[in-house]
Each structure stands twice: as structure tokens, then as C-alpha cells.
Structure 1
């Protein structure tokens, strides 16, 4: 994991308001939103798996309420000011992967998973009705939460995740150089949610369908556990539901013998919880594992 100890200049604090320029349905449960506007003129895309924070307006708002970046360029001061906004006015914050960046048009694409049921969150509600002219707040990309994906440092890559990881997986496989090898496991509901990847690398993609598994149980962990891995060194990238990601990482490190520094893992969501909920003891344990990785990097 890359440690960033420098403090960016004030002008580089990447706080912006972005505007929807197009919306396209990719599958029954995935929508791609294209954002543009003058605020993206200086947007920099430094490689695959780049994340941004999106800020969704509260009911009755058309534009999210956000603090000014400030003259000192201090992200912690900015975040403190954000937290000080009254809760009923403070935008909902969610993390998303930049799926594509088009410098010529000054636009970026972000893919949203459309969750079913009454309990879906503000991002799903917003994405279901998004249209041209809608605006969101954005923070990033930023060195403070960037972790470059090392391409070509191992004999092959293992990529494993659910639909929430699809945007990041897509950016990684599309960045693979010719001759690079990747084995990909993606868990989605059914075949209608599968996507096509364009890559110069050599891909082996396994689509896993929850609808076909027993009682709709998540099949990702079992599939990776049962897999016969290619020979050679491996770098693993894991993303998706936090519990499944932790189980996969512990399998790879504890049972397969991978060096923990060669396993990148991100829990995008927590079963029965949202990003607004307080971290659980399991979340804190994951944070401690990340810090341990930093200390040995």
C-alpha cells in the first residue's frame, strides 16, 4: 500500500460540483452516468481503480451543500467542516470508481449498481431517476485515498468481486498490457448482468450467478476456494461485500500462502448496513489489517 505523507497544495484540493450529461442503462441492475462540466477541466486520471467520493443532495435540495475548499488545502479541515453541516442538510457521501475518463470531452463515467427492495440507499434512489442537468458533489481523485494497482509485477493477476466491484475490475483489465494474464471471478445475479471486457491482456473470466446457487447464496468465495490456480507468482485484487472480501483474503493468505502485501482488498459494502452506519468491530479489524500492511510495505 502506498503511503502519502505530503500535503497537496490548496489549489489541488479536488472538491467540485459535477453535472450529469448522459445516462445509459447497462443491464437490469447497472446504470452508467456520464458527468461533465467546467469543474472537470483539470480532472486527472492516473490509472485503474481510481475512486472518488460523491455527495448526494438531501430531499428538497438540487445542489448538495458543501464547504469551500479553503486556502490551506487541508482535506481534514475540509472534512471537519463537512461533518459540521447539520445532519438534515449534510449530503450523503458514497465512494465510487471512475469507470472511464475522456479528456477530449472533459467527461467521466461512473457506474451505479441499482439495488432492489425498499431498503436501498440514497445513491440507488438518485441513480434510478438521474437525468441530464442533475448535479452531485465530488471529492477526488486524491492521493489521500489512492492506492495504485501494480500491473505486471506478478506472473498473473487474480481479480475477484461482486457487481459492486465490476467498475474497478473493468478499469484494471482494460489497463493490462499485451501478454499480461488475469483470472477473473465476478459474482452477479444472472447472465443479464454480465459485461464485456476489452483488454490487451489474456483473460479468463468466470461469471458466477447468485440466482442459480442454492437459495441465492453468494457463490464467489466457494468458487475461488475451489479454483486451481495457474503456476507462478500472483497479485490478487478483491472487492465487494466486506464479509466475502475478508473471507477471500484470509483464504489466500492463510490457506494459499500468498504474501499479504500481494493481496489488495476493499469492502465496498456491508450486509444489512450502509456507509452512514457506525463501523463494526469487524470493520475496525479490517482497518487494523490495512495498517499492518502499511507497516510492512
Structure 2
């Protein structure tokens, strides 16, 4: 247990379903998830996965406020694989949570070792597989980033496939009549999804490669597309998520060239090319408490 907004939840895989060549949806269930309190939108949480051959993820015995230091102190080849994900949907009455995984590096044409441990786990996940979630115990928690001010006239969204579940959660949450312009990069045309339209929704799907090959996995299209776009009048709110280099470039463009108020641009680097989540968390470990 962690005091405050977050706690640990033990869960198991209930089912999985492929959404496209790059994405799969895994449903987690378990009695403890009845108390998981997703705030919707881009609600993030930490997921702990077992290594191959382990029955359950290995975590510190004392799962208190110092859990991160305890986790890092365990042998790297044994301690639970740690990754951050977004809640795609929650059904509290059934104690279920849906999470969409990007399966980078798991295709038949990918070289050996191209996939990270979380992608490999998700590609092979089966009902009954055990996991642990570190997630919200209260719905209004600091791991929800999408918070448009009430005077916003329209919303700009830019994302890659890793942030697509959050985009879906945001569109599900937005009130009817909201004007949204979205640019979403995916590796393959079959990764394009049907998304809820909260009102005036314009989505530009940017497919990086029609064949789904590894060469198609370099984010690049959203920046050029947004630079060339005619944006609506009025007061905007922007939400940017995906590969950190792309996100930074988009933020610089919107604030420096388009004149967006930086306080109205929410941005998050979901991953960084050439760096694992363990490396990123280690760099930011000072002050880490819940997620």
C-alpha cells in the first residue's frame, strides 16, 4: 500500500485482443481492481510484469513509499519489469481494466532481440498471467494530465501509437460539442482505429509505412503536418504525447511559432528513442514517490 493517491493492485490477465499489426488490448481483472479509481482521459499507471519463467512479478516485500528504492535494490534479472501505461477503459462493476500495448519489435520480420520485455510479454500474454498495477486509489489524481481550462475554445491533439490509448480515453471523456483537431502517427494503416467523436472532430491519421516494416517506426509526420495546417481561431488547449523528441519539437512549434500560451500546452514524452524506461526512471529518481 502507498499512502495518498496511489496503491498496488494485484491482477491477472482476463483476455487479450489484437487491434492491429502494432497494437493489442489486454484486459486485467481481479478483486482488488474494484478499488482502482481511474480518472479517465490520459490516466497513467505503473505496470509490473514477471520475467520469463516467473509466476508473478517480483516486488519488494514492503511496498511502502520507498518502493522504488526497494525495487531497484533487487537483482535486475529478477526484479519485476516496470513500464508506464495508460488506462484505455475501466469497468469497476466487473473489476476490469483495459490496457493497449504497442508491440514494437515482435513482428515476424523483426530481428531477434528487437522487442523489449513488455512488448514480448504482451505478445504472449494468456488468461491467468499475473501482474501488479501501481495506480490511482482516487479519481482526481496527479497522473491525469489532460485538464483543459474551461475557457478553451478548441483542443489540439498530437500523438503516436504509444499515446493512442490516451487519445481514445480523452475523446471518450470530452463533453459533447467539443471541437478537436488531432494528428495521430501509426506504423501501419491497419492500426487506424474508430474513435469516439465528441462533437467537431477532425483526425489526420499519419501512416509512417504501409508495409509495417521496422523502417516505418520513426516518428516524423506530425510535426510537418501541424506546421502546414490551418488552425481554428479562438483559445486553444494542446495535448502532445509520444516519442519525447517529437513532443519537444511540437511544443516548440506551437509556443514559439504559433503563439500558444505555454501554460495551455500539456506534453508528455511516453518514450525516448535509444533509452529504456529503467534508464529514464533512474535519471529522474530523485523525488520519486508514487508513479
Same fold (TM over 0.5): yes
Instruction: Give the superposed CA RMSD.
Output: 2.4
Task: Give the TM-score taking structure 2 as reference length.
Answer: 0.86
Paired position in structure 2 for 1:105: 94
Paired position in structure 1 for 2:82: 93
Q: Secondary structure of the residue that 1:171 maps to in structure 2?
A: helix
Paired position in structure 2 for 1:164: 162
Paired position in structure 2 for 1:198: 196
Gaps spanning 5+ residues in structure 1: where? 1-7, 288-297
Task: Check conservation: 2:51, 2:78, Cα contact below 8 A.
Answer: yes
- In the alignment, the residues of structure 1 paired with residue 142 and residue 153 of structure 2 have an alpha-carbon distance, to the nearest angstrom, of 29
Q: Does 1:149 align with 2:147?
A: yes
Aligned counterparts, 1:1-297, within 5 A: 10=3, 13-68=6-61, 75=65, 77-116=66-105, 117=110, 118-141=113-136, 143=141, 145-150=143-148, 152-211=150-209, 216=216, 218-277=220-279
- CA displacement 1:192-247 (0-9 Å, x = unmatched): 1100012332200100111169x746211111111110000100000111100000
- In the alignment, the residues of structure 1 paired with residue 21 and residue 160 of structure 2 have an alpha-carbon distance, to the nearest angstrom, of 15
- CA displacement 1:121-172 (0-9 Å, x = unmatched): 0110001101100011110136354435227541000000110110001110
Task: Check conservation: 1:13, 1:69, Cα contact below 8 A.
Answer: no
Q: Secondary structure of the residue that 1:220 maps to in structure 2?
A: helix
Seen in structure 2, the aligned counterparts of structure 1 residues 11 and 158 have a Cα distance that, compared at 3 Å, is closer
Q: Secondary structure of the residue that 2:17 maps to in structure 1?
A: strand
- In the alignment, the residues of structure 1 paired with residue 227 and residue 121 of structure 2 have an alpha-carbon distance, to the nearest angstrom, of 36
Deviates more, 1:257-266 or 1:77-86: 77-86
- In the alignment, the residues of structure 2 paired with residue 146 and residue 230 of structure 1 have an alpha-carbon distance, to the nearest angstrom, of 26
- In the alignment, the residues of structure 2 paired with residue 141 and residue 16 of structure 1 have an alpha-carbon distance, to the nearest angstrom, of 10
- In the alignment, the residues of structure 2 paired with residue 11 and residue 27 of structure 1 have an alpha-carbon distance, to the nearest angstrom, of 37
- Matched length: 271
Seen in structure 2, the aligned counterparts of structure 1 residues 11 and 245 have a Cα distance that, compared at 3 Å, is closer
Task: Give the TM-score taking structure 1 as reference length.
Answer: 0.84
Task: Check conservation: 2:40, 2:144, Cα contact below 8 A.
Answer: no
Q: Secondary structure of the residue that 2:163 maps to in structure 1?
A: helix
Paired position in structure 1 for 2:289: none
Q: Secondary structure of the residue that 1:277 maps to in structure 2?
A: helix
Seen in structure 2, the aligned counterparts of structure 1 residues 13 and 49 have a Cα distance that, compared at 3 Å, is closer
Task: Check conservation: 1:159, 1:237, Cα contact below 8 A.
Answer: yes
Gaps spanning 5+ residues in structure 2: where? 287-291
Task: Check conservation: 1:152, 1:180, Cα contact below 8 A.
Answer: no
- In the alignment, the residues of structure 1 paired with residue 53 and residue 230 of structure 2 have an alpha-carbon distance, to the nearest angstrom, of 53
